[in-house]
Structure 1
């Protein structure tokens, strides 16, 4: 049997594999949204959580979680005080030696030094628009309002956030030795921002981050996020430069086989709900393994990695993940 790195590389490149890889991940801190700059204990929680998970489950690959670094604090503070779109032109990128960047690199480097020889590693990064939404009260509606006021101001602001994000992507790959990034995107949950506006205003910043990772020699996994039931127009992302796409198949009501067609044959990651009422969390061994086999029967076995819609609950029994890996063989 090939080693886990080769197994996952083959799956990412749509090659036949001796078994289907599985990919699941947790948040390892009590509240991943808090900034590490104000909660330094989070860093150790995150490091220890990764190492414990790798030791106990021996995953096929690891998504390195960026808990505490979801958004750059100075940028978030600036955006939280913005009242009109024209103020966005005052936003400036941080320097490449800013602690928000260097601390993430050292976090990744410690984790890849621990288990990067055994498995592929992908660092979690949020798209500029997602970071923008989290920083502004009213989230999607406020972003849509700013686009109505001055779409070029929003385009500018997202390009600035993207410069910060590009710097992280490049550094965690070239210096931190991650194998790539896991970029989380989500359509704007406001009807005003349709496909054309999304492609014009939002997509350029997302594409710039993915291309920066490729330029640094990394592999891209794209996550189309269905967090808290958010729905996405999957076709918006069909031409994004990524080897694989993880999307919320249960939330979207789209099968892995359908997604494979939408994304032009790219490798698809997913299949299971990530909620406490889903089979993955609450099912019996028989139910979980039957669901695993049904997913693979429907999707085929090439270019498929079994996973969940998104990050799974912290108290998920690791035995449930092992049952899926066992059934997938």
Structure 2
């Protein structure tokens, strides 16, 4: 479907600013590598070419209003002192990366290849994970990540705080560099509540909060347009109120998983712009719905949330094999709704 008469990037930025828009913008995202969690593009640069090819093909075919720049293969924190740490006590000896480390330079180079081609047309948000999520991803079995991290915090929270401070400094540096050097619009920072025995909001705020806020502050220092993603992937439940005072322009959460619609979330987050609305599983309408069903869901979401400060998307990554035509149907419904 043609989008030539609309400046899609301006559409997204106006929505994030809670300004009136010609039509509500939309975008969806999914993974491109077969194993997005354990792939290591720092060790295998050819994976970045596969990732880039998939991202560019999606942009060309689907013409989204914005793109979350996927970071499959860049999930690991390739810091030798961190990788070698075996105990909580070892974490106290982790040192920050050198500024010319490939962990920075590879990611900046990759992001720039996308913005050089599409940065003037669409808004681009570079995906970053907070330290807790990175640590969970780096466990051999993903399902063991959450209990491992919770146990680590219970064992020695001071050691965890110390290593999170180091990792957050590097993530803050990366956030600033993808914005200032790769010229992305902003970052898309993914986090979630830590679940487990003895894990309270107060403990989370003490151990996790400072680093997460530091990353956002760094991004906010060089861009007004950053997104917070409260991840409900695979049914993970979050207390959204833990993040209501995080400084960020736009919030994306799992509206379907949490059963918190866009309008309710908009109130919770002080009227800031919101992103999402659609579920992201094979059982949800964006994946299996007919044209009529998908367009009806668009109308339902906008009837409920309004058209100001709203960007339609999904709870999280949608299945890789979601028919691309479904994204066209969403855009068609948005155009029809605006008339």
Q: TM-score scaled to structure 1, two decimals?
A: 0.95
Gapped regions of structure 1 (runs ≥ 5): none
Match of 1:95 in 2: 98
Contact 1:79–1:136 (8 Å) recurs in 2: no
Match of 1:32 in 2: 36
- The alignment partner of 1:23 has SS state of coil
Match of 2:171 in 1: 165
Distance 1:22 1:80, change over 3 A: farther
Question: Aligned to 2:236, which of 230, 234, 237?
Answer: 230
Q: TM-score scaled to structure 2, two decimals?
A: 0.92
Contact 1:248–1:273 (8 Å) recurs in 2: yes
Question: Aligned to 2:64, which of 39, 59, 62?
Answer: 59
Contact 2:15–2:308 (8 Å) recurs in 1: yes
Match of 1:114 in 2: 117
Q: Distance in 1 between matches of 2:241 and 2:165?
A: 23
Q: Within the alignment, does 1:322 sit opposite 2:328 as a pair? A: yes
Q: Distance in 2 between matches of 1:2 and 1:286?
A: 25
Bigger mean CA deviation after superposition, 143-152 or 155-164:
143-152
Question: Aligned to 1:19, which of 16, 23, 43?
Answer: 23
Contact 2:131–2:168 (8 Å) recurs in 1: yes
Bigger mean CA deviation after superposition, 27-36 or 105-114:
27-36
Contact 1:255–1:271 (8 Å) recurs in 2: yes
Deviation at 1:78, TM superposition (A): 3.3
Deviation at 1:200, TM superposition (A): 1.2
Bigger mean CA deviation after superposition, 62-71 or 212-221:
212-221
Deviation at 1:149, TM superposition (A): 2.4
Q: Distance in 2 between matches of 1:281 and 1:211?
A: 35
Q: Within the alignment, does 1:247 sit opposite 2:250 as a pair? A: no
Once superposed, which parts of structure 1, at least 4 consecutive aligned residues long, lie more than 3 Å away?
77-81
1:1-329 counterparts in 2 under 5 A? 2-33=6-37, 34-74=39-79, 78-79=82-83, 81-83=85-87, 85-136=88-139, 138-217=144-223, 219-329=225-335
Bigger mean CA deviation after superposition, 100-109 or 28-37:
28-37
Contact 1:220–1:241 (8 Å) recurs in 2: no
Contact 1:244–1:266 (8 Å) recurs in 2: yes
Contact 2:226–2:250 (8 Å) recurs in 1: yes
Deviation at 1:73, TM superposition (A): 2.2
CA deviations on 1:36-72 (whole Å, 9 max, x unpaired) are: 1333321111111121111111110111111111121
Bigger mean CA deviation after superposition, 162-171 or 1-10:
1-10
CA deviations on 1:136-192 (whole Å, 9 max, x unpaired) are: 463222222222222221111111111121121111111111111000011102142
Contact 1:80–1:135 (8 Å) recurs in 2: no
Deviation at 1:94, TM superposition (A): 0.8
Contact 1:80–1:136 (8 Å) recurs in 2: no
Deviation at 1:288, TM superposition (A): 0.7
Contact 2:224–2:249 (8 Å) recurs in 1: no
Contact 2:42–2:102 (8 Å) recurs in 1: no
- The alignment partner of 2:76 has SS state of coil
Corresponding pairs, count: 327
